[in-house]
Each structure stands twice: as C-alpha cells, then as structure tokens.
Amino acid sequence: MRFDLDDEQRAIKQAVHDLSAARYDAAAANRRDSTRTDEFWPELSAAGWTALSVPERWGGQGAGVLELSLVVEELGYALAPATFFGNAAAGLLVAASQHEEHRQRWLPGIASGERRAAFGQVQRDGAGLALDAEGAAIAVLAFDGDALVVDPVPAGLEVADGIDLTRRVHRIAPRAAEPLHVGQPHAVDCVEILIAAELVGVAQHAMEMAVEFAKQRQQFGRPIGAYQAVSHRCADMLVLVESARSAVLSAAWTADHEPSGLPFAASVAKVAAVNAAWHVAASALQVHGGMGFTWEHPIHLFLRRASASSRLLGSADQHLDRVAGLTGLGGSDHRTAEAALPAATDGAAAMSRH
C-alpha cells in the first residue's frame, strides 16, 4: 500500500497544469466576453487527452478514473469550460451502457474528440440542462441513476441563466433522447468523482489566491496573513482542501480497483469536495475584503463555479444520507456493529461494511 501518485500520474497532472496555466486568463476573462471561445478544448483534444480513460477497444488509452480525475482537477484549478469534463463524464456513462452498440456508436467520437459529448442532467421539472453543449455532437443527461443520450445536439441552444460565468448552461429537451441503460451502477459514482475532483481544483486555486493575498496585503502595519483571524482561516482551508483531495484520490482508486467500495468512497469524496470548494472559495473571498467583492477580481469566479458544480448529480445531503445508510443507520437491514467492523486496512469497501 502506498497512498501517493506514481511518476506517470504526477506527469499527467503536471502536464495538464502547465497547459491550463497558460489558458487560465482566457477562462477567467470569459466572464467579460459574451462571444466566448474555449481555449482549452482544441489543445486538449489535439493532444489526445480526450482518449485518456476510454477503453482501448474504442480508440482510447484505457487509463482509469484516477488519471481522469487528475486531469479534471487541474482543469477545475484553471476554471476551464465544461467541454473536457462533459466529454469525459459522458464517456464514463456510455462505456457503462448495457448495449454494445452504444459504445460502438459514441465512444470513438468521444475518444478522438471529433464527436464531442456534453454532460448534463434532467431536472425535477423534466427539462434538460447541459454544460457548454453548444457545438457538441451529442449530450448525455443523467437521469435517476441512468442517463439519456441526445444525438444530435440541435444547433442554436438556448442559454439558461446560471451562476457560473465561466461555463454556459444550455437547455436541451430530453424528449427525443435514448436511454443508455447504464449497466454498472457505479458509472454515475465515477462521474460524481470527476465533479469532486474538479471542486478540489477550484478549492486549491482559491486557497492559493487567498494565501498569496494575505502575504502581500498590508493593514495596521503588517501583512494581514500575520493575523490569526486570517492565518487560521487559511489553515482551515488547507485542512479542507487536503482532506477533499485525499477523499477524491481514494475514491478514484477505488473505482478502478475495488468497485464494491465505490458507493461509500464516492459519497465521502463528493461531500468532502462540495464542503471544501464552497467554504474555501467563500473564505478566500473574505480574505480579499472589499477587493474580493469586485467584478474585476477573479475570486468570485471560483465561488460561482463551486456553487454551480455542487448542483450536479447528488447533493451533499443525499450523499450523507447514503453514508449513514452504509455505516450502521441503514434502516432495518443493518448488521450488528461488531461483526461488520473492519480494520481500516481492509479497504474502503470494508469501511462501508458492504
């Protein structure tokens, strides 16, 4: 057992980090520019990143959810549009379809990026919303543990009014959609992990900005970072970010290697990441004081992304309810406590007693 990234995984993370750093300003600028273009997608698809975790049989590289989550975390760090994330999430769901013809039909285009898939969900009222779906070939909408595929995505999608200025929410009617019949129930949990990974990237960057600002901003003759009201706030951010990162890495590894532990691990990751992203972004804004409340300063974009991405798939409350059910408050079905209690090194699966 060894809980850290291997060299190849580190290289993936660093490569995407470097690529994104150059594109971050453009993403952040999107908020002021109504004729936005995606500075990330052409480069990511040209370099083959879209193929990363698609099975080799369908033109992919066959890497795991872990590798994919590293890419998505770095794109979250850079506030990238949803193009890569959506395509990757859709790829995970399509790969889990019960129908071989679905994979055959859609995975090669997802892997090459030539027929990009957008990701979204069917809302309570039956409407479909997808992220940055304009220009996508297909859209995969999560729906009640399964997903629907809209193919082709019609042109001229209506834009809904979302809180996230670095992504657009498009309306897509799920009427003509085909159900995927996601066979492996854990595919949706894998998407939860990608969402959580993105949120960790958002939190990491917001924390770095707060720490940097606290070192430079002087008030009362000192950098504000010397005051515990600020420095302990930053320390609390670190606890949240590192905990969420640990949970996401563990969940992604579990998805790849120990699927029976996935429901517990994915819920832990989503809860930890949702908490971290919102609280760190809000706390980072507070550190910036009045400046953080200005449109020109990018910190609010992190707060907005944290809010929007937390509204995808299961809420923190729903995941907490699942965790409770998996760890002893499962209604009538619970085993006695002592018999089921694992040592932690029995793995995440055992931690949830399933």
Partner 1 sequence: MDLSLSPLELEFRDEIRAWLHDHHPGPSPDGIEEQFDFRLAWQRTLHDAGYAGIAWPQAYGGRGATLMQQTIFNEEMVRARAPAPANILGLIMGGPVVMAHGTEEQKRRFLAPILSGEEVWCQGFSEPDAGSDLAAVRTRAERVDGAWKITGQKVWTSFAHRAKWCMLLARTSEDARYRNLTYFICDMQQPGVTVRPLRQITGETEFNEVFFDTAAVADDNVIGGVGNGWQVALATLMFERPGLGASSALQIRMTLTELAELIRAHGLDADAGIRRRYAQLVVETETIRLNGYRGLARAIDGVPGPEGSIVKIQWAAINQSLTELAFDVLGHDGLADQPAWTYRLLRARANSIEGGTSEIQRNILAERVLQLPRLR
Site residues for partner 1, 190-249, by CB under 8 A, read: 211, 214-215, 218-220, 222-232, 234-236, 238-239, 242-244, 246-247, 249
Q: Which of positions 142-161 make contact with partner 1 (CB under 8 A)? A: 160-161
Query: Which token pair is 250?
Result: 């563990």
Alpha helices in 161-261 (DSSP H): 186-216, 228-257
Give the H or E element holding residue 140: strand 138-143
Burial 284-312 (b: 16+ CB within 10 A, else e): bbebbeeebeeeebbbbbbbbbbbbbbeb
Q: Which of positions 231-270 make contact with a second copy (CB under 8 A)? A: 232
- In the complex, minimum distance from the CB of residue 91 to partner 1, in angstroms, rounded to a whole number: 21
- In the complex, minimum distance from the CB of residue 44 to partner 1, in angstroms, rounded to a whole number: 23
C-beta closer to a second copy: residue 176 or 324: 324
Q: Which of positions 25-64 make contact with partner 1 (CB under 8 A)? A: none
HSE-CB for 12 with a 13 A CA cutoff? 21
DSSP state of 311: T
User: According to CB under 8 A, which one of 28, 179, 316, 354 is a site residue for partner 1?
Assistant: 316
For residue 317, state whether it binds partner 1 (rule: CB under 8 A).
yes
With CB under 5 to 8 Å by kind, the binding choice for 151 among a second copy, partner 1, none is none
For residue 320, state whether it binds a second copy (rule: CB under 8 A).
no
C-beta closer to partner 1: residue 41 or 253: 253
CA distances 225 to 95, 132, 148, 231, 290, Å, are: 48, 38, 49, 5, 16
With CB under 5 to 8 Å by kind, the binding choice for 43 among a second copy, partner 1, none is none
Query: Which token pair is 338?
Result: 């002592």
Q: Please choose, out of 39-47, 84-92, 183-191, 261-269, the segment that lies near partner 1 by the rule CB under 8 A.
A: 261-269
For residue 228, state whether it binds a second copy (rule: CB under 8 A).
yes
- In the complex, minimum distance from the CB of residue 230 to a second copy, in angstroms, rounded to a whole number: 8
Here the contacts of 227-231 (C-beta below 8 Å, separation 24 or greater) are 230/287
User: According to CB under 8 A, which one of 15, 61, 260, 323 is a site residue for partner 1?
Assistant: 323
Q: What is the size of the binding site for a second copy (CB under 8 A)?
A: 4
- In the complex, minimum distance from the CB of residue 46 to partner 1, in angstroms, rounded to a whole number: 28
DSSP state of 217: -
Q: Please choose, out of 98-106, 145-153, 226-234, 327-335, the segment that lies near a second copy by the rule CB under 8 A.
A: 226-234
Pick from 213, 199, 173, 160: nearest CA to 319: 199
For residue 229, state whether it binds a second copy (rule: CB under 8 A).
yes
- In the complex, minimum distance from the CB of residue 278 to a second copy, in angstroms, rounded to a whole number: 21
HSE-CB for 149 with a 13 A CA cutoff? 26
- C-beta neighbour count of 344 within 10 angstroms: 8
Pick from 259, 94, 272, 125: nearest CA to 197: 272
Which neighbouring-strand residues pair with 118?
139
Residues that bind a second copy (CB under 8 A): 227-229, 232
